[in-house]
Chain A
Amino acid sequence: DSGVTQTPKHLITATGQRVTLRCSPRSGDLSVYWYQQSLDQGLQFLIQYYNGEERAKGNILERFSAQQFPDLHSELNLSSLELGDSALYFCASSEGQSAPSEQYFGPGTRLTVT
């Protein structure tokens, strides 16, 4: 158990819908990262927050947004869902905001868009 929690574990929804994925970092970690794992793109970095502020952005679509709350949990919002958004979404956390800082991954949320 990494100490990072994610809910829900599985999500099945229809195209055009909106979903929210939730992540709680390890105790004491201030950075939260979101990654997407799809069959064709592999594991890709989406976005990082540190202590409530956005720190780095990767290949995140405009339909996707995230935020980190004062209690340090984070939410990833995916809207206008398309079939291609079906993937495993991971949240990770680390103590620091920049390298080197070991990242610990949550169990992931498996999103299926039908």
Chain B
Amino acid sequence: GIQVEQSPPDLILQEGANSTLRCNFSDSVNNLQWFHQNPWGQLINLFYIPSGTKQNGRLSATTVATERYSLLYISSSQTTDSGVYFCAAPRGATNKLIFGTGTLLAVQP
């Protein structure tokens, strides 16, 4: 089945800095999602991005399906961006999501 890997495993930033998180997947996918898990444990949808580029405020994401990776960009980071960022892709024709191990982000004031 599909393998999903994320890097870096953890990241510490000063407020205002920019960062790039990477997600590699082992098979071609027709669906990729990015999530933010906040310190209270909630999983928040960030992007549904099987290919191309999307932007939402200070966050943007790009998926290059042919090369099997996706990038999440966070600009002008804020302390509220802290948490764990997950990418997830479905296994085969089903929609069951396979999650990466996440990137733990800490933004310091």
Interface residues of A (CB under 8 A from B): 2, 31, 33, 35, 42-45, 48, 55-56, 58, 88, 90, 92, 94, 96-105, 107-108, 110
Contact = CB atoms under 8 A, between A and B. Distances in A.
Contact of A99 (B35, B42, B45, B95): B95
Contacts of A104: 45
Given A43-B86, A99-B90, A102-B33, A108 B43 contact: yes
Contacts, number: 69
B41 A99 contact: no
Contact of A48 (B42, B44, B92, B96): B96
A7 to B, nearest CB: 15
B101 interface: yes
B97 interface: yes
Interface of B: 29-31, 33, 35, 41-45, 48, 50, 86, 88, 90-99, 101-102
